[in-house]
Structure 1
């Protein structure tokens, strides 16, 4: 007998942790449904979507690279946040059609919600990277009233990104090398301020070049956030912890964005009371 299912698609896809996350939550919630992975090549994407439209058991899919932009032309409605980001990572069956969402922004913000619920005199984030993840992070933070400094290999690309995503914002750009070199800047009193340092690149990931970052650029009281998931404690986060800064690892964003998708697929909030056990599964 068939039963409801959702899945994650991409090329490649075998490495995805999404089946482990959603499968764990389905079991915890007692929901009789499946979550799978499906290898979909770029030339197969349109046929995949067309076939799933006619499958009564299909509840939707998470979308990974390289399909996050291409899938936008294949759905019936795009959520305004996804439209601003310019990428869809979640497709769901909705009102007889298909709707495209982006849960990366919500997933990124989830571990920061307690801090963002406070009132601050000033909020600033330094973002390393100008790729797809940075688009979601920039969108999320500008909606929270955060002034940004975006650093990339090409500062012109960083400026174009900010002009597109928040044209009225008073943000700044810098070359990647700016944060690799020490600074003698004397930070003012940060009491009542919110400061965030984000690695939104693959630098520091296993098999990739390290993130060359000098901690003289980190204001007192900052939170250091790395979206890399392998290794979970990157050299950037390890040094941040050693220096006494609060840290957020990449699993926090991964689990947060999955939780937002889970509720859209299966109609119930993801059961989050066993997140510690889930983390152990994902890192074993």
Structure 2
């Protein structure tokens, strides 16, 4: 059910948040749909999660919030319900506010998985049944909350083995457990290990913050030019500011295909727009194109 009569509003929460393009994307989508929802950016730290959840329950007009780092786990204890995906991943990026029988219900969802899948589907070659190799390999840089979404995306995209390139293997225990639950073969590797296997990865997903992947360029051999990547290998760098990132430029220089994290942001944002607006039946291709236009991204 929709919120009580009041100006409907939503926001993206995170820290830092000034770089976020979510307000541009959501505002463009709501205009295209003819929906009146104000969407803002709110700088917030994890220790403020409980008080903000209380705001969602008491302030009129809230329909939901988008959630980015470092809050993807912090809000979970303060919600009334979680999607099966959030229960599985232990991380969310969406909170939906519903008003049911006079009470407010907060439910957590994760549309990051949808964003990664669709961003990669736009550029990956179509799978061709029996013509596929038996093993399909991918790698993920990092093992944080976004890496968990990337693991589920890899499973949905049909990858069979995923390497987690991390500096501290102990911090990847949760990701390894999730991979087992998803039926993925998975192991941690250091950067040198990833470099040795680079030519076997069909896709690499960097889930690291802006500039953090810069240090991977030389150890991975991306500075050596062509010949280090598998033919058609794709890099999705979820960090989109600045763009192109240093690792994206190096990957493209090595002959690979690059996908901006902005593409992921658009696709996951479309799913959030459905939740916040309550609209399911619409020309979502048109809405997606409008969102791409709003941030200067090529249409898929």
Using the TM superposition, give the Cα deviation of residue 187 of structure 1 relative to its aligned residue in structure 2, in angstroms.
6.1
> Does 2:189 correspond to 1:170?
no
CA deviation map 1:132-190 (0-9, x unaligned): 2211101221233311011101234335521244244322321123345xx4x7968xx
Counterpart for residue 14 of structure 1: 18
Counterpart for residue 277 of structure 1: 293
Using the TM superposition, give the Cα deviation of residue 203 of structure 1 relative to its aligned residue in structure 2, in angstroms.
5.8
Counterpart for residue 161 of structure 1: 175
CA distance in 2, matches of 1:214, 1:179: 10
2:154 pairs with one of 141, 144, 166:
141
Using the TM superposition, give the Cα deviation of residue 253 of structure 1 relative to its aligned residue in structure 2, in angstroms.
1.1
Distance 1:203 1:19, change over 3 A: closer
Using the TM superposition, give the Cα deviation of residue 256 of structure 1 relative to its aligned residue in structure 2, in angstroms.
1.5
Distance 1:175 1:111, change over 3 A: same
CA deviation map 1:243-262 (0-9, x unaligned): 33222111111111111111
Please show how residues 73-222 of structure 1 align to structure 2 within 5 Å.
Answer: 73-94=77-98, 96=100, 97-113=105-121, 115=124, 118=127, 119=129, 120-121=132-133, 122-146=135-159, 147-158=161-172, 160-167=174-181, 168-179=183-194, 183=196, 195-202=202-209, 204=211, 209-212=214-217, 213-215=220-222, 218-222=229-233
Greater share of helix: 2
State the number of aligned residues: 272
SS of 2:136 mapped into structure 1: strand
Distance 1:70 1:223, change over 3 A: same
Using the TM superposition, give the Cα deviation of residue 111 of structure 1 relative to its aligned residue in structure 2, in angstroms.
1.7
CA deviation map 1:250-283 (0-9, x unaligned): 11111111111111000235511334422228xx
Using the TM superposition, give the Cα deviation of residue 221 of structure 1 relative to its aligned residue in structure 2, in angstroms.
2.3
Which stretches in structure 1 are left out of the alignment for 5+ residues?
Answer: 189-193
What is the Cα-based RMSD across aligned positions, in Å? 2.9
SS of 1:25 mapped into structure 2: helix
2:31 pairs with one of 21, 27, 30:
27
Greater shift in the superposed pair: 7-16 or 76-85: 7-16
CA distance in 2, matches of 1:65, 1:138: 18
Counterpart for residue 191 of structure 1: none
Check conservation: 1:151, 1:158, Cα contact below 8 A. no
Which stretches in structure 2 are left out of the alignment for 5+ residues?
Answer: none
CA distance in 2, matches of 1:78, 1:17: 26
Counterpart for residue 240 of structure 1: 251
TM-score between the two structures when normalised by the length of structure 1: 0.83
TM-score between the two structures when normalised by the length of structure 2: 0.79
Check conservation: 2:210, 2:240, Cα contact below 8 A. no
